[in-house]
Structure 1
Amino acid sequence: MTAPATDPQAETWEQDGVRLEIDGDVALVTLCQPKRRNAQSPAMWRALSAAGRELPGTVRVVVLRAEGVSFSAGLDRAMFTPEGLPGERNFIQLAAAEDKDLDDTIAGFQEAFTWWRRPDVISIAAVQGHAVGAGFQLALACDLRVVAEDVQFSMKETSLGLVPDLAGTKPLTELVGYARALEICATGRWVGSEEAVATGLANLAVPADELDGAVRDLAAALLAAPRNAVIETKALLQGAGARSYDEQRSAERVAQARRMRDLAGIGD
């Protein structure tokens, strides 16, 4: 895989902990600060947001992975210290901001977690070791999750007096249900691979040394179907929760009509 040659920001992204590589219709986004267990920062989130904007139109599958023993240890705890992180506002400074400023800032952070579910791609998170707080939410940002058997998810925000605010609460609730999502978030307990698969949080669990291979196999299977059929199907499933049964049947008919006419070469 090679990084997009047209992007002069690629080296800066890597310094901030993100590497983007493109191989035809597959993009690989790697968290690449293993010595820090891929702790997250606003700079990393800006790099992740930029990577999403820079994806070529040819990309159909995006794989999110991380170097080292942990997927991500969550938010860099330096954000909670008086010194903070260089060039970033620390927790106290953010808390003191005006309402709109604080809301806009958090919305900017959330951008790094929202583009993974865009309609024209399918995203897969390959998760090993610890995925804590922001790390858990980044895995939840993807459409699918393949995990190593040593994975440990935990939503620690509530334990710190905060709430999960990086767009993770909706997908978590949709995957495991309200009661289990509340219990996971309110207790901050660890969720291992067996429970993750059993509850629908993960699609598949494999030994750690088979993680990359399992993700490659899944990506290949996703690429086997025609792109437009996958896009239409993803849109149907994403919208199903907000539609009634009859509304969903109607949406299916409309989507199928588009597919039939496209296959037959009949324009609108």
Structure 2
Amino acid sequence: MITYENLLLNLENGILTITVNRADKLNALNSATISEIKQAIQQVYEDTAVKGVIITGAGPKAFVAGADISEIAELSEVNARSFSERGQEVFSMIERCNKPVIAAINGFALGGGCELAMACHMRVASDNARLGLPEVSLGVLPGYGGTQRLTQLVGKGKAMEMAMTGDMIPAEEAKALGLVNHVVPQEELMSKCLQIMEKIRTKAPLAVGLVIDCVNAVFNKDENGYQTEANAFARLCASEDFVEGTNAFLEKRKPNFTGN
């Protein structure tokens, strides 16, 4: 059994909630927390009891308000690349996970926190949330994939503006830009995430996982996304859930998907 010092994990009805639990530091990501997130996501990959994930932050102020500046201040050119690549690896694990991952952004999502949220498949923000990549104020830039994912989500021009000015944007603007999917009052944040997750859980799990693969393929320069889609479509047509889903539709009943 893994013991976590910086995360709280709660599995209920197949939904694993991962809470970054450093409220006194506004849930800032240090190396230990990054390592724990990697362990937790590896657990998601391996545990068949986990059907979906919600990632959030402890307390009412912050999702994750950046990385631990005291650690960043100690970096040199010699170890900075490995520092960046390690975070990229962990966030790519989230992005590639074949189970849905939703970021419940309950406050500030800045720097590494914004990067963590963008690695999730969807983002739901409370109305007090603020998002941004302020790294240029420290003389660096986003190192956990932020320049890439922000551009994918909001487009080149706005990504350039946000990353070069370091400005924070409010939740409603983030929604208008496509950076977050929904904005709700803070007290409704987790219920909204659970509502979305429960809707996804009524669908075929294998199909949901392959949707994630296909959408991610759009941004993989080494992959033909159309071929990935065709391969996934063919694979699903050989699944038990395909038979169940089509039969249920024709018989006018709810399907009972098993993930096979």
**CA distance in 2: counterparts of 1:234 and 1:223, whole angstroms:** 14
Map of 1:86 onto structure 2: none
TM-score (norm 2): 0.84
Which of 55, 58, 64 is the aligned partner of 2:49? 58
Secondary structure at the aligned position of 2:38 is classed as helix
Could you tell me how far 1:157 is from its partner in structure 2? 0.5
Inter-partner Cα distance in structure 2 for 1:145 and 1:217? 13
1:138 maps onto 2:116 in alignment: yes
Superposed, 1:53-92 pairs within 5 Å as 53-55=42-44, 56-68=47-59, 69-79=61-71, 91-92=73-74
Using a 3 Å threshold, how does the CA distance of structure 1 residues 43 and 226 change in structure 2: closer, same or farther? same
The alignment partner of 2:56 has SS state of: strand
Structure 1 Cα separation of the partners of residues 226 and 27 of structure 2: 43
Match of 1:84 in 2: none
Counterpart of 1:67, as a letter, is A
Q: 2:145 aligned to 134, 149, 167, which one?
A: 167
When the two chains are superposed, the root-mean-square deviation of aligned CA atoms in Å is 2.1
| Match of residue 191, structure 1, among 162, 165, 169 | 169
Cα contact 1:116–1:122 (8 A) shared by 2: no
1:104 aligns with 2:70: no
Kept in 2: contact 1:63–1:123 (CA 8 A):
yes
The TM-score normalised by the length of structure 1 is 0.82
Which residue in the other structure is 1:83 paired with?
Answer: none
Secondary structure of the corresponding residue to residue 126 of structure 1: strand
* Structure 1 residue 60 displacement after superposition: 2.5
Find the partner of 1:151 among 129, 132, 147: 129
Structure 1: state its 5+ residue gaps: 1-6, 81-90
1:64 is aligned with what amino acid?
Answer: I
Given residue 30 of structure 2, which amino acid in structure 1 is its aligned partner? S
Identity %: 27
In the alignment, which residue of structure 2 is the partner of 1:214? 192
Separation of aligned partners in 1, 2:91 and 2:191: 25
Rounded to whole Å, the distance in 2 between the matches of 1:184 and 1:102 is 23
Length, aligned pairs only: 238
Distance 1:231 1:151 in 2: 29
Distance 1:243 1:103 in 2: 22
Distance 1:225 1:95, change over 3 A: same
Q: Distance in 2 between matches of 1:241 and 1:77?
A: 30
- For residue 19 of structure 2, the aligned residue among 30, 52, 71 is 30
Task: Give the superposition deviation at 1:253.
Answer: 3.1
Show CA shifts across 1:232-265 (max 9, x none). Answer: 2222221134579xx5544433322221222349
